Chain A
Amino acid sequence: MTDATPLLHTEGLTKHFRIGGGLRRETLHAVDDVSLEIGDRAIVALAGESGSGKSTIARLLARIYRPTAGEIYFQGTPLSKLRSRSDVLRYRSDVPMVFQDPFGSINPVFRVSHAVQRSIKLHRPELSAAERAREARRVFDIVGLSPAAEVLNRYPHELSGGQRQRVGFAQALAMHPRLILADEPVSMLDVSIRIGLLNLMQQLRDEQGVSILYITHDIASARYVADRLIVMYAGQVAEQGPVEDVLAAPRHPYTQLLLSAVPDPKAELTLSSGTDRGEPPRVIDPTPGCRFRFRCPLAVTDCQSQTPKLLQLSPGHDVACLVAQSGAEMKAF
């Protein structure tokens, strides 16, 4: 993945929000110095708690926000170089987004065909009306909304949550995308429906050759669907690597905490990890040092003053923790 130009990568991506006004001006560090890579035909899961910056990253990649610092490269081209409207449109159709709320993301007063055809018209103006209709049927078939012609004629309220989320993927697919940004696409769906969507994401990767950035707080679903896992904490990458490597041998104490908290019906109950309250980190004007140090049982003096860098500890597996980088075998949770 590193020898050629990755499909998309970021360097030092940073997004700060100014909050408050007058004398109490503060800065919220939503994303700080994030460098990540998404390869061809890969599903990359971006996991972390609420406020960890994962949705901000999706919005930066979708160009809804402009970065405070750093750069996003798509197929090696920096996004800040995109100037013309047609360049921006082309990027948006290469990298479309699927949103979390399937009830809020489709216009309720039109048939679902409207939503799909409208984006085809915008992004692929060369197609005739008949070709657009054919294209809409094609993508509906791919995402499992069949019979496509009939589903296209329905109104959003006639579809279940799972079906609406499939409409979201169909819409993205109609643009012939290279990378779909999926922000918590299954978290509002019922458990019995979720797996179907996760399977669809894998099918899109395998059969359509699309990459997907899967943003989630659910580690188990990340393991099920993704090739690589990026764990965010307080706006920074704590750990990243092949999903099985990270889950089998988590090196960052936060990843360890996260994994210990996942309910597992098959495991014995241990009440020992009741010490961590799950209190969110401070990302408003943070001081230097590791942002996890306040919750970390392994924190050493250096953690108070040195912000850990993301370093490779084994092939493709990077960790931002001074203690792990010192080579110590550790189990925080």
Chain B
Amino acid sequence: MRTGQTERLGAGPAGTAVGPALEVRDVSVSYLTKRGEVRAVEDVSFDLGRGEFLGIVGESGCGKSTLLFAIAQLLSAPAVLNGGSVVFQGVNLVDLSDEQLASFRWKKLSLVMQSAMNALNPVKTIAAQFYDTMRAHGVRSKAEITERSVEVLRMVGIDPVHLRSYPHQLSGGMRQRSMIAMALLFTPDLVIMDEPTSALDVVAQRSLMVQIKELQQRLGFAIIFVTHDMSLVSHFSDRLMVMYAGQIAELGATRSVFDAPRHPYSAGLLEAFPSIRGPKVPLTGIPGSPPDLARPPEGCRFAPRCPQVQDRCTQGQVPIYYVEDVLVRCLRAGNGVGSGD
């Protein structure tokens, strides 16, 4: 089912998708541990349109960060890529050497990590770190570097006097903003973000999300945004991927995943968020915990926690179905009627 649909996977937002910026096919990653092989990511395929904002959500251990590392070719032992391809602007990144990858990193594809305090060098000023990055990618003129540094800091709303600041002199929000500024030094086509707002307070978090969205609309880069907080991306991403136990559970337009989740896990996740508005209703969350990926269960990986589990769910692999522009890995979606009951 999946391979036949690949040409349609890149259904990004109308008007922006001129052709995919990124094609991820059958990516699988394992961690080789003493306990055996842990299959952290299995058979993930998707396309990302130019200028598209893709949100990836899931719980800890669902493989979302591992997937990001596989896309950016940053995996290191004990993680191994078991196959698949990551085609970015026509080039399969999997085949490239470190030197060849260097010409892509920062310039065309950049990363913003979860903890800016750890990602920034504590003993160097912001200006020095921007300088290093640009020098390493071949910019020689000091004046040009300074000019660009001032420009990107202004873009993210930080006063350029902070070029002289050290990371510890900035607030958490400003540190994340300067990480984003750094990621934009070369106007990349794709920015990958791994929970960039999770260390921030809710007010700073919202302000940063609004800013990321504005920059994206202005500069036109594509974003892959990983988070454990589904509600955070609800208003910002074009499409949403829900991951469970290393696999895609559901992938579709953000609005349709929120309005009519087709996978019982997505539905359960949505039900797990109390709301600050509307009537107060008792919630249950999703009882149980995710499976051990060194010994994944037979059949559907969500079956042990699924409120709608059936006998056939535990027999054999569950394929991914394509239902009204949404990819769903659930047998109920494969009944031909789409959303099941």
Contact = CB atoms under 8 A, between A and B. Distances in A.
Contact of B157 (A162, A196, A277): A277
B173 A194 contact: no
Contacts of A280: 171, 201
Choose among A49, A192, A244, A258 the residue with the greatest number of B CB atoms under 10 Å from its CB: A192
B17 interface: no
Interface of B is mostly: loop
B11 to A, nearest CB: 22
Contacts of B270: 265
Interface string A123-164: 000000000000000000000000000000000000010100
Nearest to B268: A192
B272 A191 contact: yes
A192 B59 contact: yes
A312 B240 CA distance: 45
Interface string A196-224: 10110000000000000000011111011
B187 to A, nearest CB: 22
A219 B60 contact: no
A291 B271 CA distance: 37
Contacts of A160: 289
B276 A247 contact: yes
B230 A191 contact: yes
A217 B289 contact: no
Contacts of A195: 272, 274, 283-285
A198 B287 CA distance: 13
B210 interface: yes
How many chain B residues sit at the interface, stated as a range, is: 35 or more
A55 B236 CA distance: 32
B69 interface: no
Choose among B59, B211, B277 the residue with the greatest number of A CB atoms under 10 Å from its CB: B277
A56 B108 CA distance: 45
Contact of A264 (B173, B201, B207, B231): B231
Contacts of B230: 191, 265
A276 B276 contact: no
Contacts, number: 130
A190 B244 CA distance: 13
A261 B228 contact: no
B202 A217 contact: yes
B232 interface: yes
Contacts of A86: none
B258 interface: yes
Interface string A222-256: 01100000000000000000001001000000000
Contacts of B229: 191, 263
A276 B232 CA distance: 17
Nearest to B59: A190
A193 interface: yes
A266 interface: yes
A276 B289 CA distance: 38
A328 interface: no
Given A191-B273, A192-B268, A223-B274, A278 B205 contact: yes
Interface string B180-219: 0000000000000000000011111111101101100000
B175 to A, nearest CB: 12
B289 A277 contact: no
A259 B213 CA distance: 21
Nearest to B210: A274
Nearest to A52: B201
Contact of B274 (A49, A193, A221, A244): A221
B201 A194 contact: no
B173 A258 contact: no
A279 interface: yes
Nearest to A221: B274
A19 interface: no
A143 to B, nearest CB: 14
Given A195-B272, A261-B203, A262-B202, A274 B211 contact: yes
A278 B272 contact: no
Contacts of B200: 278
Contact of B258 (A244, A261, A265, A278): A265
Given A264-B276, A265-B270, A266-B277, A278 B173 contact: yes
15 contacts: A49-B203, A162-B289, A218-B202, A223-B275, A261-B203, A273-B206, A274-B206, A274-B207, A276-B203, A278-B200, A278-B202, A278-B205, A278-B206, A279-B171, A279-B174
Given A221-B274, A258-B202, A264-B277, 13 more contacts: A190-B60, A192-B285, A192-B286, A217-B201, A223-B274, A265-B258, A267-B277, A269-B235, A273-B210, A277-B173, A278-B201, A278-B206, A280-B201
Interface of B: 59-60, 157, 171-174, 200-208, 210-211, 213-214, 228-232, 234-236, 258, 268-270, 272-278, 280, 282-287, 289
Interface of A: 49-50, 160, 162, 190-196, 198-199, 217-221, 223-224, 244, 247, 257-267, 269, 271, 273-274, 276-280
